[in-house]
């Protein structure tokens, strides 16, 4: 999500059982091709820098789950943009749903829905250009008529994509209009009947892990994509989402953002979106106090009272531990079935999920430590394959950390 999808937010969501995350770049693909890739030797954060600032950042720990969303109306530029970042992601998604003029005026986003030749030529070019272990997927909106939607879906599926996300609103519908998820089942059945094992992901009005069961039952979709509910509460992917978020999540979020050197105004924007129910008697008053402090602040130093000191490194390690424990389970699933498609994996993991299912059993070592080419925690080599494909040849060579940290004990 534009602006809401910063690295700290993504890491908290991975910790809370998100299966795949669609990262986004807001620039035109033309600008993106000129960026310089820089790795922070202490934190491992990878930045793609423009002339004066980082345009897109990521962390190697998220690579097995990170799908990079491209906004494009030009197959060649889309391929160039994909090649620029492909060593840091597990797949590419083409945005065919954004109705905002900044996308559609240039023929991108939802404008592609009425230009299927161009839409499919971008997907085909991406599929041909990027290695097979990286997935290519598309996110569309419904067309006004179901018949036209199915015709479009057929063409898109035939380009060789691995998954299709359907935002169950049409281009002219606003977010406040109810998503028409009842239209999705026919699309899911249609894709299944094409026999290509493509995952169909529902999007629109899903509120969290529990609600995903309702949506999957109603639509038959393999999985769901959650946007606004996750913007409000990054822990909504957990079956026990956090309440009183201004006390439970916000302090850690600020510390982690500071540690990862996340841009302050972006951090402040994400903080301003957070909301959750209260369970404590003083919950509302505490939220007010935290919000006021954040609204007045101009830098991380102004919110020390909320963050409670700068030890974001420990918050980061906690997240690494949670993701490692989860990775072990995901890769066990993949190893059981070498030929698993994205549809199989999403379907199986989504339907079985409960938080405990992803925790490494006590006393056992995580068999697949998810390290990376960039220094995450010292001296761990990334041995994990990409989530979907089981192969990951493009991870950069590991560079030792300047400031090594001890291995976490699991
Ligand atoms: C702040 C914000 C940013 C978004 N950015 C993107 C984007 O970059 N790409 C995209 O495909 N959809 C984007 N969306 C749309 C969502 O992905 C999603 O399709 C829509 O919000 C409906 O899902 P929901 O009901 O779960 O919110 C954005 C939505 C919001 C609220």
User: Measured between alpha carbons, how far is 39 from 242 in angstroms, rounded to an integer?
Assistant: 32
Where do the DSSP E strands lie in 32-86? 36-39, 46-49, 54-58, 66-70
Atom 5, ligand 1: which residue's CA is nearest? 1
Tokens, residue 210: 């529990």
Task: Judge contact between 380 and 401, C-beta under 8 A.
Answer: no
Does the pLDDT value for residue 358 go beyond 90? no
pLDDT at 388 over 70: no
Q: How confident is the model at residue 334 (pLDDT cuts 50, 70, 90)?
A: low
For residues 71 and 28, give the distance between their C-alpha atoms in angstroms, rounded to a whole number: 7
Please indicate whether residue 33 is annotated as part of the active site.
no
Residue 225 alpha carbon, nearest atom of ligand 1? 26
Q: Which of 147-151, 183-187, 277-281, 400-404 has the lowest mean pLDDT?
A: 400-404
Render pLDDT for 156-180 as a digit per residue (tens, 0 to 9).
999 999 999 999 999 999 999 999 9
| Domains annotated on the chain, with CATH | 7-237 (3.20.20.70), 245-307 (no CATH)
* Rounded distance from Cα 204 to ligand 1 centre (Å): 9
CA of 167 to the centre of ligand 1 (A): 9
Q: Whose CA is nearest to atom 18 of ligand 1?
A: 227
**Interval 282-298 mean pLDDT:** 94
Residue 394 in tokens:
């493009």
Of 295, 230, 235, give the one whose Cα is nearest residue 268: 295
Mean pLDDT of the chain: 82
Q: How far is the CA of 398 from the centre of ligand 1 (A)?
A: 34
- Please tell me the residue having the least CA distance from ligand 1 atom 14: 1
Q: What angle do CA 3, 11, 6 make, to 5 degrees?
A: 15
Q: Judge whether residue 394 has pLDDT over 90.
A: no
Residue 393 has pLDDT above 60, yes or no: no
C-beta of residue 134 within 8 angstroms of C-beta of residue 68: no
**pLDDT > 60? residue 390:** no
- How far is residue 270's CA from residue 233's CA, in Å, rounded to a whole number? 10
Residues lining ligand 1, Cβ inside 6 A: 1-2, 4, 24, 69, 95, 97-98, 139, 167, 175, 203-206, 226-229, 231
Q: Which of 52-61, 133-142, 293-302 has the lowest mean pLDDT?
A: 52-61
228 C-alpha to ligand 1 centroid (Å): 7
Question: Do residues 168 and 196 make contact, with C-beta atoms less than 8 angstroms apart?
Answer: no
Helix orientation angle between 312-336 and 7-15, rounded to the nearest 10 degrees: 50
CA separation, residue 357 to residues 231, 364, 386 (Å): 25, 15, 20
Give percent of the chain above pLDDT 90.
Answer: 62
Residue nearest to atom 6 of ligand 1 (CA): 1
33, 96, 98, 236: the catalytic one is: 98
244: confidence class by pLDDT, cuts 50, 70, 90:
very high
How far is ligand 1, taken at its centre, from the CA of residue 73, in Å?
19
Judged against a pLDDT cut of 70, whether residue 371 lies above it is answered with no
**Interatomic CA distance for residues 319 and 328, integer angstroms:** 14
What are the residues whose beta carbons fall under 8 Å from the beta carbon of 381, sequence distance 6 or more?
371, 398
Specify the pTM. 0.83
pLDDT of 68-112, one tens digit each? 999 999 999 999 999 999 999 999 999 999 999 999 999 999 999
Q: How confident is the model at residue 320, as a pLDDT? A: 87
Give nearest CA residue, ligand 1 atom 2: 1
Strand partners, 38: 47
């Amino acid at each position: 999500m534009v602006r809401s999808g910063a690295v700290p937010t993504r890491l908290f969501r991975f910790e809370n059982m998100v299966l795949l995350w669609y990262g986004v770049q807001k620039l035109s693909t033309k600008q993106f091709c000129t960026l310089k890739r820089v790795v922070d030797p202490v934190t491992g954060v990878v930045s793609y820098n423009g002339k004066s600032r980082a345009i897109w950042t990521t962390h190697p720990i998220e690579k097995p789950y990170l799908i990079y969303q491209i906004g494009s109306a030009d197959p060649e530029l889309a391929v160039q943009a994909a090649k620029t970042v492909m060593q840091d992601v597990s797949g590419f998604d083409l945005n065919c749903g954004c109705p905002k003029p900044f996308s559609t005026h240039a023929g991108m986003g939802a404008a592609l829905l009425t230009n299927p030749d161009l839409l499919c030529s971008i997907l085909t070019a991406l599929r041909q250009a990027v290695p097979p272990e990286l997935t290519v997927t598309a996110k569309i909106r419904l067309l006004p008529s179901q018949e036209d939607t199915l015709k479009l879906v057929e063409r898109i599926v035939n380009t060789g994509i691995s998954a299709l996300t359907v935002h169950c609103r049409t281009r002219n519908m606003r977010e406040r209009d109810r998503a028409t998820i009842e239209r999705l089942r026919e699309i899911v059945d249609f894709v299944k009947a094409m026999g290509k094992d493509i995952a169909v992901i529902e999007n629109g009005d899903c509120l969290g892990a529990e609600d995903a069961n309702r949506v999957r039952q109603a639509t038959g979709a393999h999985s769901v994509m959650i946007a606004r509910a996750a913007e409000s509460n990054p822990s909504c992917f957990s079956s026990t989402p956090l309440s009183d978020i201004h006390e439970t999540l916000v302090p850690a979020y600020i510390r982690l953002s500071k540690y990862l050197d996340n841009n302050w105004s972006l951090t402040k924007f994400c903080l301003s979106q957070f909301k959750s129910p209260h369970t404590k008697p003083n919950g509302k008053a505490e939220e007010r106090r935290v919000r006021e402090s954040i609204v007045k602040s101009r830098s991380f130093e102004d919110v020390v009272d909320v963050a409670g000191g700068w030890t974001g490194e420990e918050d980061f390690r906690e997240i690494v531990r949670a993701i490692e424990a989860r990775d072990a389970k995901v890769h066990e699933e993949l190893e059981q079935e070498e030929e698993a498609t994205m549809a199989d994996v999403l379907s199986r993991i989504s339907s079985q999920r409960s938080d405990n299912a992803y925790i490494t059993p006590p006393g056992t070592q995580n068999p697949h430590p998810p390290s990376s080419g960039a220094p995450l925690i010292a001296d761990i080599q990334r041995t994990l394959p990409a989530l979907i494909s089981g192969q990951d040849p493009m991870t950069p060579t590991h560079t030792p950390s300047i400031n090594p940290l001890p291995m976490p004990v699991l």
